[in-house]
Amino acid sequence: MSLVVVLATPLVGAILLAVARGIAARVLHLLATVLTAAAAGAVAVQVSHAGSIVALGGLFRADGLSAWMIGLIALVSLLAAIEAPHTVPSAAVGRFRPLFHLFVFTMLLAVSTDDVGLMWVAIEGTTLASVFLVNLERSRASLEAAYKYLLICSVGVAIAFIGTVLVYFADIHQFGHEAHALRWTTLVRLAPGLPPRVVELGFVFLLVGYGTKAGLAPMHTWLPDAHSEAPAPVSALMSGVLLSVGVYALVRFKTVVDLSGGPEFTQRLLLALGLTSIATAAVFLWAPTNYKRMLAYSSIEHIGVVCLGLGFGGLAGVGGAVLHVANHALAKSALFVLSGRIRAAYGSAEISAVTGLLGTMPVTGGLFLLAMLAIMGLPPFGLFVSEVLIFSAGFQSGHGIVAAAGLLLLVGAFAGLLRNAHRMLYGTPAPAIVDVPGLRSAVPTGLALLLLTLTGVAWPPGLAAALDHIARLLGQ
């Protein structure tokens, strides 16, 4: 029942918000977000006790990985919804609210269905729902970014459809018209008997297609434009969890391919694209002109790190990758939320226009500094721990050269981020800038940073067991 509720709440909220106005719309917006988060918490509790839950005859299903993703989507959407009144233009709020909840619904649907075809539809739905959010300000730059996003991601998802068809062909060619042949549970059960070469060919198409949605280089070209032009709460959702939805789809198919022909094929591809993504980000992070584009390239870097963890494999590699997804979601959503406040105060997203941030906006600047330290992977924040897990798995699994190359590239990305953060945080304070949100509005981002500290210093009870469970679920 909770699985149906977690899907129905944002969908009903989007429908009602399409006609609601005034105070009713504000209340309904927050109520739908809070109820979605509560339902996501209920799903996590049920999955922790039962292992998995199903609804509507098995069409919807949540296991450990699904519950993990549902919880992240709900948490980041709650942070983004609370921040929206500060950074979304009042003239666009009426369009923002229903599209926001429709966007959340499509992401939740993608990670909670057991049907491969419905997941593909949901991921395409995330593009259609969010493209209007990217163009919310209706400027020339946002229109161009939205068009580029729609074109590239739609082509990518179409390529993923070819990969899905190839996997389905391998399924029916080997076993005939098996009942529910395109459900994850069926594919995993039948995977050892599937023809490896056909499934591997399908994975190549899936990696290009869903890798485009995940922002993996060289399919990443839509990401910096879309994330830099979207309103801050939308950027938080896109960078924090939308990219991870693309990774989620790849992980599910990786399990099938590994069971069919062994893990070596997917490992080579994921390690290659992971290194390419980190290298691309490191180059563009050195001298960006726009701080929202800087954060977007940082997302490409961290998705590359996640791919390295999946490629290294083992409990440490996959568990570290899953943890890194959560840590990145918390840190990057906080950073984009804070960047929206900075843009509203300074009237510009250019790095050169923002100086003396710690002096002019002490609350926002202080949180921005902490979040930047977190995204750089410094202790005591959780990204340091998840990166240690991932790269230790690389050295232990015999991929020492790849792990060493990844670490060197991370140093380059770290230097670029540190250089640009210093330019923004210090220097001559800009005149007449007021930190409008104040301490009360700092609570959501402060809680996100507190959670990052917990995953870096003292893991909450059950976290290690949950990561091990998800890693074993994925065949490690």
With contact defined as beta carbons under 8 Å apart, do 93 and 18 qualify?
Answer: no
Task: Give the chain's radius of gyration (CA, Å).
Answer: 21
pLDDT band of residue 407 (cuts 50, 70, 90) is very high
Mean pLDDT, residues 177-192: 84
pLDDT at 253 over 60: yes
Own/partner contacts of 293-297, CB < 8 Å, gap of 24 or more, are 293/224, 293/225, 293/227, 293/228, 294/351, 294/417, 294/420, 295/227, 295/235, 295/239, 295/332, 295/335, 295/336, 295/339, 295/375, 296/223, 296/224, 296/226, 296/227, 296/228, 296/235, 296/239, 297/224
Q: Are 193 and 170 in contact (CB under 8 A)?
A: no
More confident residue, 288 or 14: 14
Backbone φ and ψ for 459, nearest 5 degrees, come out as -60, 135
In the predicted model, what is the mean pLDDT of the chain?
Answer: 91
Which residues, other chains included, contact 103 with Cβ-Cβ below 8 Å and sequence gap of 6+? Answer: 126, 129, 130, 133, 234, 237
**pLDDT for the residue numbered 320:** 96
- What is the pLDDT averaged over residues 23-40? 93
Position 347 confidence tier, pLDDT thresholds 50, 70, 90: confident
Of 86 and 269, more confident:
269
The β-bridge partners of 113 are 60
DSSP 430: P
- In terms of pLDDT, which residue wins out, 172 or 283? 283
- The closest of 330, 368, 304, 296 to 453, measured between CA atoms, is 330
Strands 60-62 and 53-55: antiparallel
pLDDT surpassing 80 at residue 90: no
Give, in degrees to the nearest 5, the angle at Cα 337 between 342 and 358. Answer: 40
Asked if 172 and 135 touch (Cβ cutoff 8 Å), the reply is no
The pLDDT, as a whole number, for residue 436 is 56
Task: Give the lowest-confidence range in 29-33, 118-122, 159-163, 428-432.
Answer: 428-432
Per-residue confidence (pLDDT) for residue 459, from 0 to 100:
85
Half-sphere exposure of 140 (CA within 13 A, CB side): 0
pTM, entire model: 0.96
Confidence at residue 170, expressed as pLDDT on a 0 to 100 scale:
84
Q: Which contacts of 281-288 are long-range, i.e. CB under 8 A and separated by 24 or more positions?
A: 281/217, 281/413, 282/409, 282/410, 282/412, 282/413, 282/416, 283/412, 284/224, 285/412, 285/413, 285/416, 285/417, 285/420, 286/412, 286/415, 286/416, 286/419, 287/416, 288/351, 288/416, 288/420
180 or 240, which is more confident?
240
pLDDT-derived band at 133 (thresholds 50, 70, 90) equals very high
Cβ distance 248 to 111 under 8 Å?
yes
Among 52-56, 93-97, 177-181, 406-410, the least confident range: 177-181
pLDDT above 70 (res 215):
yes
Of 60-74, 152-166, 337-351, 389-403, the range with the lowest mean pLDDT is: 337-351
Q: In angstroms, what CA-CA distances link 324 with 42, 114, 305, 390, 401?
A: 23, 24, 8, 9, 21
Alpha carbon distance 278, 300 (integer Å): 7
Residue 55: phi, psi to the nearest 5? -150, 155
Contacts 24+ apart (CB under 8 A), 283-289: 283/412, 284/224, 285/412, 285/413, 285/416, 285/417, 285/420, 286/412, 286/415, 286/416, 286/419, 287/416, 288/351, 288/416, 288/420, 289/350, 289/351, 289/352
> pLDDT-derived band of residue 283, with 50, 70 and 90 as boundaries?
very high
Answer for the pair 127, 149: CB distance below 8 angstroms, yes or no: yes
Query: Would the pLDDT of 435 be above 70?
Result: no
How many angstroms separate the CA atoms of 329 and 73, rounded? Answer: 9
pLDDT of residue 437: 56
Q: What value does the mean pLDDT take over residues 39-52?
A: 93
User: Do the Cβ atoms of 125 and 109 come closer than 8 Å?
Assistant: yes
Q: List Cβ neighbours of 179 (8 Å cut-off, separation of 6 or more).
A: 186
| Residues across the chain | 476
For residue 47, CA distances in Å to 2, 183, 236, 323 come to: 11, 19, 27, 18
Q: What is the mean pLDDT of residues 97-108?
A: 96
Local confidence band at 181 (pLDDT 50, 70, 90 cut-offs): confident
pLDDT for 443 equals 80
* Identity of the amino acid at 222: W
Q: What is the pLDDT of residues 354-363, one digit of tens each?
A: 988 988 888 8
CA dist list (Å): 89 to 258, 291, 445, 457 = 47, 20, 21, 38
285-317, pLDDT tens digit by residue?
988 889 999 999 999 999 999 999 999 999 999
